């Protein structure tokens, strides 16, 4: 009995190696048998993990313990059950992006050739206007129709799928009355065209390499191609890059806005051509708008002209001998200075 217990602990199949018997420690068969869950004594080693651990294991097979609820691995949810949730999250994110960040627009005409071709898809930055940023000269912007500029233009009727995708921003919206042009003048600017050009902003000529090949910067006609306008505050003056094929601000000077586009109508700036892949490109501000085109305010010009005059009169008065002042004396120095 003692040899069998020792052999079971050693895990060896062959004859056990001879070892000296410890006279103090009792043999394995003399050890106190472990109690089972029922309180009855059992053979040593029959209860897995009960020897010296005090864990209170039930003595069942470890494989059975792994099947218990506390040890069972969590079952993953089916992909088909998660798919509606993923679609819902994607739609919400797309709607938020379209509303506050970026929206896709389709180019329906040739008025911006060759910068933009008919059928191009552009991505428009809608975020910066939320922070009070206003359009700048040279930007290509998308804006809502300010005064029925698109009256009479054919509108494509989208199918239900296109309506949904357009509403969430996954494809250009087909029923929005929007236009895309280049900003030439902002509030306070004077924009003019004489003859075939060049186009001038605040008296400075623009070098316009983006104008459609074969076009002249200014159109020679009596319908609006020859003009000189001053842009009101809160408005912009826009023109297409295909100058002889663009019904822009020049040809709407008789509408309620006199051809100007309210800044509030601007959806955002077109920043990149996203489709087709062969047309991928950014839409930066041309270098010609980097020159100082700002218009000097009339008040500033008046002040700049008045200062030298005042200084000259002061010096002239200081060089004269001070004379006694009498009531009604029209010869008092400075009596004729402009207020």
Two tokens, residue 159: 């199918």
Pairing assessment for the beta strands 235-239 and 178-185 based on DSSP bridges: antiparallel
Smallest Cα–Cα separation from 196: which of 185, 205, 188?
Answer: 205
- What is the 8-class DSSP label of residue 77? P
Catalytic pick among 50, 126, 173, 181 = 181
Task: Please give the torsion angle defined by the CA atoms of residues 159, 102, 177 and 209, in that order, rounded to the nearest 10 degrees.
Answer: -120
Catalytic pick among 50, 111, 246, 249 = 111
Smallest Cα–Cα separation from 228: which of 206, 207, 257, 249?
Answer: 249
- What is the 8-class DSSP label of residue 211? S
Query: SS3 for 257?
Result: coil
Furthest CA-CA distance within the chain: 146
Residue 111 annotated among the catalytic residues of the structure:
yes
Residue 181 annotated among the catalytic residues of the structure:
yes
Two tokens, residue 326: 């009498």
Task: Please give the torsion angle defined by the CA atoms of residues 183, 263, 225 and 184, in that order, rounded to the nearest 10 degrees.
Answer: -20
Two tokens, residue 325: 């002042």
Which distant-in-sequence residues (6+ apart) come within 8 Å of 40 by Cβ?
A: none
Terminal Cα distance for the chain, rounded: 129
Asked if 190 contacts 222 with a C-beta cutoff of 8 angstroms, the reply is: no
* Distance (Å, whole) CA 236 – CA 255: 14
Active site residues: 111, 181
């Amino acid at each position: 009995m003692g040899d069998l217990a020792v052999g079971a602990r050693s895990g060896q199949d062959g004859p056990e190696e001879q070892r000296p018997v410890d006279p103090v420690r009792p043999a394995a068969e003399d050890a106190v048998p472990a109690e089972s869950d029922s309180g009855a004594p059992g053979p040593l080693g029959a209860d897995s993990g009960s020897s010296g651990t005090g864990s209170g294991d039930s003595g069942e097979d470890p494989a059975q313990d792994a099947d218990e609820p506390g040890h069972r691995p969590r079952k993953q949810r089916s992909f088909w059950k998660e798919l509606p949730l993923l679609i819902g999250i994607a739609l919400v994110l797309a709607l938020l992006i379209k509303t506050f960040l970026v929206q896709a627009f389709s180019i329906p005409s040739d008025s911006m050739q060759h910068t933009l071709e008919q059928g191009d898809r552009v991505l428009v930055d809608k975020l910066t206007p939320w922070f009070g940023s206003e359009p700048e000269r040279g930007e290509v912007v998308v804006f809502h129709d300010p005064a029925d500029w698109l009256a009479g233009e054919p509108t494509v009727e989208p199918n239900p799928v296109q309506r949904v995708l357009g509403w969430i921003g996954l494809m250009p919206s087909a029923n929005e009355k929007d236009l895309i042009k280049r900003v030439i003048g902002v509030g306070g600017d004077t924009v003019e065209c004489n003859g075939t050009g060049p186009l001038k902003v605040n008296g400075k000529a623009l070098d316009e390499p983006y104008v459609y090949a074969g076009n002249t910067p200014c159109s020679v006609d009596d319908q609006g191609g020859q003009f000189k306008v001053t842009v009101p505050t809160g408005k912009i003056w826009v023109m297409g890059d295909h100058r002889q094929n663009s019904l822009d601000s020049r040809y709407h000077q008789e509408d309620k806005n006199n051809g100007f586009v309210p800044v509030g109508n601007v959806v955002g700036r077109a920043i990149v051509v996203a489709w087709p892949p062969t047309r991928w490109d950014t839409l930066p501000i041309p270098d010609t708008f980097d020159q100082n085109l700002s218009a000097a305010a009339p008040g500033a010009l008046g002040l700049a002209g008045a200062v030298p005059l005042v200084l000259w009169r002061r010096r002239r008065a200081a060089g004269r001998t001070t004379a006694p002042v009498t009531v009604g004396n029209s010869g008092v120095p400075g009596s004729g200075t402009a207020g």
